[in-house]
Amino acid sequence: MIQYRKSANRLSAPQPINTKGEMDKNQLLKDLNKRATAKFKGDKLLFGQGNLNASVVVVAEFPVSEEVHAETPLAGPAGKMFNQALRGLGLSRRQLYITYAVKSAPAPGVIPSPKEVKQFSQFLKEEIKIIDPKLTIALGSVALRGLSVKLPLFNIRGRLIRFGINSLFATHNPATILKSDVQKLEFEKDFGKLNEALASISLA
């Protein structure tokens, strides 16, 4: 198991949806997802899930068919790697909001085209605006493109950068590190740096 020095700046514990603001977020997301479903008719979409009051939003690239069928983001072997990295930081999924840049599963081995990423991008940006996190974590190049970040992943990986009025941290997609020992080591190092990044910004 990956172990990092725990940040003193802890994320707040997840809270149930019980305030007007939280209920508003829930309704806004329902409306947004309804519009996305109408736009991408015929596609099975996997929408974001998690703590609507999260200080941290995780944007993965796109789901695989098994994740869409299970209606669970970042599941399977890639999800296990992601969960392990979170545990190393003393965090859990319940403290985060997790979504995808492209919300439909492409055919096996196929990467979404720039056109597809752009089509979903408007929904992703609105989704993040609704959650209003202080930190967005992008997992992979497709996630960066969905966020309209022009810089390539290798240029900003493992660094905290300004993202609007908040912050962005990028690293590899957990699915890709299963195929590359080099990227796996980089992913683990990046999460060590993420621990430092969590300590440098206020997540309360």
C-alpha–C-alpha distance, residues 89 and 108, integer Å: 32
pLDDT computed for residue 10 by the predictor: 47
pLDDT tens digits, one per residue of 129-168: 999 999 999 999 999 999 999 999 999 999 999 888 889 9
CATH of 20-200, one of 1.10.3720.10, 3.40.470.10, 3.40.50.960, 3.30.160.250: 3.40.470.10
Centroid of chain to Cα 64: 15
Domains in the chain: boundaries = 20-200
Token output for 119: 């089509």
pLDDT digit string, tens, across residues 58-104: 999 999 999 999 899 999 898 999 999 999 888 899 999 999 999 99
- C-alpha span between 105 and 112 (Å, rounded): 9
Q: Is 140 helix (H, G, I), strand (E, B) or coil?
A: coil
